[in-house]
Structure 1
Amino acid sequence: MAEEVKEERQAEAPEAQEGGLPPLPKKLEKMTIKELRELALQIPEITGVHGMNKEELISALKKVYGIEEAPRRVGGSMRELKAKIRKFKELAEKARAEKDWERYERYRRLASRFKKRTRKLARAAA
């Protein structure tokens, strides 16, 4: 059983042995954010480790180790979606101040739609 796990880890990170990278103790998705940060801090190619969330750390580590990432099911990251929500809320308030009710309603609906996407993304990550 332990041999199978070792083989799986080696298959996941083919460049780990040759590039001088630290070996992966387990699958990246199963690691805690603290473990991911400790691992990322050992790799000089990855910068801004403490400002990254778990998803970003996993992505950066996969890139360095040469592990292919599976495509996401829901479009965009949580930060991108929340930035869009803020933008559309600002545009909606601006349209409301100008009493342009058509534009206000359009931007309000777009913000609502992106909020639903964040919920969907959160459920997919859990």
Structure 2
Amino acid sequence: MAELPKLEKKLEKMTVKELREIALQIPEIQGVHGMNKEELISALKKVYGIEEEPRKVGGSMRELKAKIAKFKELAAKAKEAGDLEKYERYRKLASRFKKRTRKLAKKAAA
């Protein structure tokens, strides 16, 4: 097995471009250009043998954004149908998930 490139700083502090450059040098990692930052970090940690700590904020960014889109769509349908009670409920759920994405992003930056 080839020698792994040395890590200059924490993976979480690196940009996606930097992570891709490192991942491209490691033949065990496939599909580097299709990965987002979280996936790149996870793949690199696996190769380097770094243990990942479990997430405390629920879900990944992709999952949360998918939920936001779903609730926004449901809110729009409810508003169209004239059901203001359901509209408000879906709108508030979308807002709650949006706050979680901000919390997750803030935690990832720390």
TM-score when normalising by structure 1: 0.72
Q: Is 1:88 the counterpart of 2:81 in the alignment? A: no
1:31-70 alignment runs, 5 A limit: 31-70=14-53
Runs of 4+ displaced beyond 6 Å: none
- Identity over the aligned pairs, expressed in percent? 79
TM-superposed CA distance for 1:30, in Å, is 4.2
List gaps (5 residues or longer) in structure 2.
Answer: none
* Letter in structure 2 aligned against 1:84: K
Count of aligned positions? 108
Segments of 5+ residues of structure 1 without an aligned counterpart are: 1-18
Q: Report the 3-state secondary structure (helix = DSSP H, G, I; strand = E; otherwise coil) of the residue aligned with 2:51.
A: coil
Higher-Rg member (1/2): 1
| Cα root mean square deviation, aligned | 1.9
Deviation, 1:112, is: 0.6
The Cα of 1:46 is off from its aligned counterpart by 2.0
Higher relative contact order (CA 8 A, sep 6+): 2
CA distance in 2, matches of 1:94, 1:62: 42
Corresponding residue number in structure 2 for 1:22: 4
Distance 1:120 1:31 in 2: 19
Give secondary structure in 1 for the equivalent of 2:89. Answer: helix
Residue-by-residue CA offset, 1:39-60 (whole Å, 9 max, x unaligned): 2112233222123232221111
Residue type matched to 1:64 in 2? V
Q: How far apart are residue 81 of structure 1 and its match?
A: 1.0
SS in 2 for 1:25: coil
Give the distance between the partners of 2:31 and 2:38, measured in 1 at CA: 14
Aligned twin of 2:92 = 109
Which range is displaced more, 107-116 or 34-43? Answer: 34-43
Q: TM-score, normalised by structure 2?
A: 0.81
Distance in 1, Cα, partners of 2:63 & 2:93:
14
User: How many Å separate the matches in 1 of 2:14 and 2:98?
Assistant: 28
